[in-house]
Amino acid sequence: MPQIGIADLPLHPGSAPRWLFGRMVKLSQGIIEVLVEEFGTAEVLRRISDPFWFQAFSCVLGFDWHSSGTTTVTCGAVKEALKKQELGLFVAGGKGRTSRRTPKEIESIAEKFDMAETTKENLIYSSRMSAKVDSAAVQDQHSLYHHAFFFTTEGEWAVVQQGMNEERGYARRYHWSSEHVRDFVIEPHDAILGNRVERALDMTSNLSESCRKTSLDLMKDHPKKLSNLIKSLRHPNQRSLSHWTGEKEPMTVLSMPRNINWETAKRAYDWQPRNYEELLSIKGVGPSTVRALALISELIYGEKACWEDPVKYTFTVGGKDGVPYPVDRKAMDQSTQILKRGIEEARLGREERIDSLKRLRTFVPSAISDFS
C-alpha cells in the first residue's frame, strides 16, 4: 500500500436506517455481481482485504466515512446481498453473537455446496485463528466484537474484523487475505486501521521472533516452572526495566497478568506444540497467557517482544451523516438499476461487456477501479 497514516473510526450509536440498509444490499449485490462476472471471486476477496477499496466501497454504498459502522454495516449488507446470489462467494459471521456462529455457518454452506472436508476444516481454522491472533497475539487495547469471514467454494478467504476501545469510544479494523497469509503469527495482516495507541503488544511482528520462540519453550516446560517464574516477577521490590538499562526516560513497568489458565498450561505441556501458531491455537491460550509468556521472555531471558502499535493506514472520503454531503437516495436507486442492466448486457459478449463496464465506471468508479 502506498499510503500510510492513521484512520479514526469513532463509535456511532444506533443502527443504519432501514431505507439506507436496503439500498446498500441492492447496490452491493449489483457491484459484486459485476466484479465476479468480469474478474472472478478471487479478485473480490482481494479487494475486500484492501483497506482503501473497502472504505471506498462502503462510501459508494452511502455509509459514514469515519464510523465504526463503516465495517459492520457494510459487511452486513454484503452478507445479505450474497444470500440472494449464487456466485460461489459467501460471508459468515458478523457482529456480536453472530460472530460466534461463524464456524457453524461455514459448515452449513460447505455442506450445501458439497465442499471438500479438508476445505471446510481449513476455512473454519482460518476463521478461528484470525480472530485468535487479533484478540490475543495483538493486544492493542481493542476488544474484538465483529468478525466477517468471506470465502469461496475453492477455499480462498478474506477476513474483515473489528475491535472496540470502550474507554475511548474508537474502533479498529483488521484486514486479512488468504492470498498473503504465509503464517498466522508472522505479519499476517493486509492492514490494521484505527486510532493509534501509545503501547501495544504485537507478537506477530518480525521483531517478536525471538520472544515467540522463548514463549514456546516456556510452555513446553513443566507448568510448575512457569508458575515459579511468574511468582518471582511479582516480588514487591520488582523494578522497571529502566533501572537495568540506564534509560534517561523512565520506561513503563511491565506488570505481570494475575490470571493464568493453568489447565491450559498443562494441556500445552502434554501436547508439546511444534511452533508458536500451534501454541496460540490451543483452546484456553488467551491474552493473559500470551502476555505473561512475553513478559517472562523479556524480563528474564532478554528476548524482547514488539511493543509498537501496528496500525498504519488512512483514507478520507464521505458518507451518510452529511460529510462531505448527504446520501442521494435517488442516485443510489438509479445506480442499482444501471448496474442490473449492465450485468445483463455484460453477458451478451466480450465487446458488449467492455462497453457496459465503461458505463458502470462512470457511476461507481471506486467500486470498479483496480486498487491493486
Asked whether residue 125 falls in the same domain as residue 236, the answer is no
Asked whether residue 244 falls in the same domain as residue 288, the answer is yes
- Residue 198's alpha-carbon distances to 90, 117, 138, 189, 310, in angstroms, are 37, 44, 14, 20, 11
In terms of phi and psi (left: phi > 0; alpha: psi -120 to 50; beta: otherwise), the region of 148 is beta
Whether 51 maps to a domain, the answer reads yes
Give the residue from 299, 321, 336 where a domain finishes.
Answer: 299
pTM of the model: 0.78
d(CA 190, CA 175): 5
Asked whether residue 193 falls in the same domain as residue 211, the answer is no
- What is the per-residue pLDDT across 203-260, written as a single tens digit (0 to 9) for each? 999 999 999 999 999 999 988 888 888 777 755 444 544 444 444 443 444 566 666 7
Residue type, 26: K
Whether 144 maps to a domain, the answer reads yes
Whether 350 maps to a domain, the answer reads yes
Whether 275 maps to a domain, the answer reads yes
Asked whether residue 104 falls in the same domain as residue 150, the answer is yes
Print pLDDT tens along the chain (372 aa).
444 444 455 555 556 677 778 888 988 888 898 889 888 999 999 999 988 788 778 877 765 545 667 888 899 999 999 998 889 999 999 999 999 999 999 999 999 999 999 999 999 999 999 999 999 999 999 999 999 999 999 999 999 999 999 888 888 999 999 999 999 999 999 999 887 888 899 999 999 999 999 999 999 998 888 888 877 775 544 454 444 444 444 344 456 666 677 888 899 999 999 999 999 999 999 998 999 999 999 988 999 999 999 987 643 333 445 443 455 566 556 556 655 665 565 555 545 555 655 665 555 544 444 433
What domain range is 239 assigned to?
206-299
